[in-house]
Structure 1
Amino acid sequence: MTKRTNSVRNLRQTLRFKESALAFGNANDFYETWQAPTVIVSDGPYGLGKYPGEPVSVKALAEWYAPHVAAWAKAARPDTTLWFWNSELGWANVHPILEAHGWDYQECCVWDKGIAHVAGNCNSKTIRGTPVVTEVAVRYTRKVQLAKVDGSLVGIKEWVRAEWQRSGLPMNRANEACGVANAATRKYLTQCHLWYFPPADAMAKMAAYCAKHGLPTTRPYFSLDGKSPLDAQLWERMRAKWNHSHGVTNVWTSPAVHGAERFKASSGYLHANQKPLALMDFQICASSDIGDNVWEPFGGLCSASVAALRSNRSFFAAEVNPEYFDAASQRLHQIAQNLEVRHVDAA
């Protein structure tokens, strides 16, 4: 670290925006001070060696990301969603690390920047393949495991079935418990790919039915801790949130950021790969509710934090580049001021 970087670091500190914070430095130094995340938006190194500390090859990305992935897993709750941005090959190299730390793959969303992204960047006489105009944003959720009576840990699907079997009741009685024709056995107790996460009201009905008609037990049926009766609110938080938007697929056609939204430097763009706010808005609103916490470990210009602020979520972000940190700070302050003015006008 140079003397200049040291002096810059001494001049900067964590900036706070009500319940949110933007820290100057490595996110690993701040994770333990941040509130538990509902959403983590990771838009870190792609293995291009474009800034100090970034690996110069995608092959080094797994090792680089490993301590961050471990910290995310430690802080995450069962309802946490991780969006991992990268190139296709970059993601492929980091995926095993994500899996090893208990992140379950859900889907790969593709950002299609469109044909205009090729203009000026492709020499048809030398290129030996199709021009690349995409990046991926891969959605992961936390792998949740619960303890059976024998102490073994299993996934929620297996656990729900095991709890019903513990009652000694026939499977089809679950339908009577839930007041349905066959949905309980077909959706909630099946072990095939058609399994549904039981809603809280169905779980409460099955727990009450087993307690009344099942084998006597000192361990409450469907108890998450083996001691207390089922808590419906806690049960709803046992899976990641998802607020569905009709008409949105896993291919996001959106041009690269230009115009007023793009941050400029003295020569060219300030950030080489600024993400569209519209995509950040979608990710955060789809995976969280008002008042939830959004982590942006590799802030850059903090587009995810801006989206969180605009949608009434709290954000916790970090950035190591002084220029990016300053630009992000100004950007967030401006958004916060605009929102305060809007609230005053509305009142």
Structure 2
Amino acid sequence: MVVHNKIEIFKGDVKSHYDKWLEPTVIISDGPYGIGGFPGDPLNVNVLKEWYLPHFKKWNEKATPNTTLWFWNTELGWATVHNTLIESGWDFVNCHIWDKGKEHIAGNTNTKTLRKLPVVTEVCVQYVKRAEFIVDENKMSIQQWLRHEWSRTGLPFSKTNDACGVKNAATRKYFTSCHLWYFPPVDAFVKIVDYANNHGNKKGRPFFSINGKEPLTAAEWEKMRSKFSCPFGVTNVWRKPPLNGKERLKINGKALHLNQKPLDLMELIISTSSTEGDIIWEPFGGLFSASIAAANLNRKAYGAEITSDVFDLGKKRITEYFK
């Protein structure tokens, strides 16, 4: 259902809609937390791995190395599913903390009974789709594949420095086998590919090719990692009180959503990991905050919500927001 020229939303189980959506640059997951916070949210985190697994697999299937996943949850909910995400093809990048401050507890926390300090945080964890290459039926990371392709040239690794026009940065950064490895930027990759195919063993050419016919282009290489830009002064701790005022949706003074996300936080994560015209997924739409944020930033959003009355409220919100 098209409700805005930048937003399509769907009612029902999102698993029946994934294959209809264009491949995502960003996926924003704000699904079950395992705290019984809304209809369909499990009462504890024990079942979250099983619940999320088909989604993790489908996200991995539809995503590209250009894709960033932002996973909202409680600290425990995230910890419970982290390994499942890794096993499903996603690489951890960073954990971001939403610090809601004292306004979040409003004096309602009985620490004598609960025996813990008041909780005023949740996490938004950044993952990227793992880029893998298949060589002789073996999976290789980008780091391994770069070293493999250069080894095929028959040239010593020291020549990668000549290719890039540096003294030792190429061997130290782009072709190291240790944890200090760096992804070669596009201009460096193009120089490496040209040098390898001009000076390497003629029998092995083309080098740095996936199809065996021509090397990867600059545009193709750029898509081998996720987009990212860091706004000045922004860190991984976001100090912002829970929503109040006109952005918080209410009926008869009661909030429609237990944990409505602020649009500015949604815009932050979208803007850091995509550019105009990119595709944003919001598989567990709720009130469709991510979809609205995406449209505000001139991205195309796909969203879904399984609960009918919540879907209707979210649809109404989008319609009224863009009047």
TM-score (norm 2): 0.95
Out of 258, 263, 267, which is 1:277 matched to? 263
Pair 1:184 & 2:145 matched: no
Out of 301, 309, 319, which is 1:333 matched to? 319
Distance 1:50 1:118 in 2: 16
1:106-159 deviation digits (Å, cap 9, x = unpaired): 1111110012212222124434111100001111111111133x4422000111
Distance 2:146 2:322 in 1: 44
Distance 2:143 2:321 in 1: 43
Pair 1:228 & 2:206 matched: no
Which deviates the most, 117-126 or 156-165? 117-126
Which deviates the most, 79-88 or 171-180? 171-180
> What are the residue-to-residue correspondences of 1:298-337 with 2, within 5 Å?
298-337=284-323
Alignment partner, residue 248 of structure 1: 234
Report the alpha carbon displacement of residue 75 of structure 1 after superposing the two structures with TM.
0.7
Alignment partner, residue 340 of structure 1: none
1:219-256 deviation digits (Å, cap 9, x = unpaired): 41111333222211011000111111121111111111
Out of 118, 122, 125, which is 1:135 matched to? 122
Alignment partner, residue 287 of structure 1: 273
Pair 1:90 & 2:77 matched: yes
Out of 58, 63, 83, which is 1:71 matched to? 58
1:249-279 deviation digits (Å, cap 9, x = unpaired): 1111111111111000235111000011111
Alignment partner, residue 37 of structure 2: 50
Distance 1:217 1:19, change over 3 A: farther
Out of 3, 15, 36, which is 2:23 matched to? 36
- Asked if the contact 1:55–1:64 (Cα under 8 Å) also holds between the matched residues in 2, the reply is no
Segments of structure 2 that go 5 or more residues without pairing to the other structure are none
1:12-60 deviation digits (Å, cap 9, x = unpaired): xx23422531111111111111111110000001112233322111101
Alignment partner, residue 197 of structure 2: 211
Pair 1:159 & 2:145 matched: yes
Alignment partner, residue 97 of structure 2: 110
Report the alpha carbon displacement of residue 331 of structure 1 after superposing the two structures with TM.
2.3
Distance 1:20 1:226, change over 3 A: farther
Report the alpha carbon displacement of residue 213 of structure 1 after superposing the two structures with TM.
1.5
Distance 1:291 1:324 in 2: 27
Q: With CA pairs under 8 Å and 6+ residues apart, which has the higher RCO, 1 or 2? A: 2
CA RMSD of aligned residues (A): 1.5
Pair 1:21 & 2:24 matched: no
Distance 2:117 2:264 in 1: 27
Distance 1:217 1:290 in 2: 43
1:41 partner amino acid:
I
Segments of structure 1 that go 5 or more residues without pairing to the other structure are 1-13, 338-347
